[in-house]
Amino acid sequence: MKKILFVCHGNICRSPMAEYIMKHLVSQNGNVEDYVIASAATSTEELGNPVYPPARRKLAEHGIACDGHHARQLTRSDYDKYDLLIGMDSYNIRNMLRMCGGDPEGKIHLLLDFTDRHGDVADPWYTGNFNATWYDCHEGCLALIRLIENEEI
């Protein structure tokens, strides 16, 4: 079983989009029981809030529901609970490393580093471009599934 935690600043846009896209993809592949997938924030700003409405609408456009999501903050114990902790941008990674006390097991990664175009997932909170964020998260999740299923990660 592969346990994956997606992380962004507030846990209302990018990381829940990645979480629910990944859940949808593994469901389509018929291997939901092989995964535990969740998301978290590095900040406390949005704790308890649902997925941001434009992000929820973008997921719904692709037939993906995100009901029941409530933003939560990353904890140090998450490092032990999950096999992979995947940040959306380099700022998230810096905070994740601080909050987890480092990365001695090499579990912390950027989502787009699993693709051919490394870098940060577009942040729609500032850009308003939820299409770009969808594309980044979808591409990253597809690449991640391929690596997991080929036992490369």
Encode pLDDT of 40-91 as tens digits. 999 999 999 999 999 999 999 999 999 999 999 999 999 999 999 999 999 9
Per-residue pLDDT, averaged over 98-119, amounts to 97
**CB distance 69 to 58 below 8 Å:** no
Supply the mean pLDDT for the chain: 97
Q: Of 8, 13, 100, 137, which is the active-site residue?
A: 8
Q: Of 56, 66, 89, 123, which is the active-site residue?
A: 123
Q: Is 2-149 a domain of CATH 3.40.50.720? A: no
Where in the chain are the domains? Answer: 2-149
**CB distance 42 to 7 below 8 Å:** yes
With cut-offs at 50, 70 and 90, classify the pLDDT of residue 2.
very high
pLDDT of residue 51: 98
Whole-model pTM over 0.85: yes
Does residue 136 have an active-site annotation? no
Per-residue pLDDT, averaged over 108-122, amounts to 96
With cut-offs at 50, 70 and 90, classify the pLDDT of residue 131.
very high
Does residue 123 have an active-site annotation? yes
Does residue 14 have an active-site annotation? yes
C-alpha 102/C-alpha 128 separation (Å) is 32
pLDDT of residue 65: 97
Q: Of 13, 14, 78, 137, which is the active-site residue?
A: 14
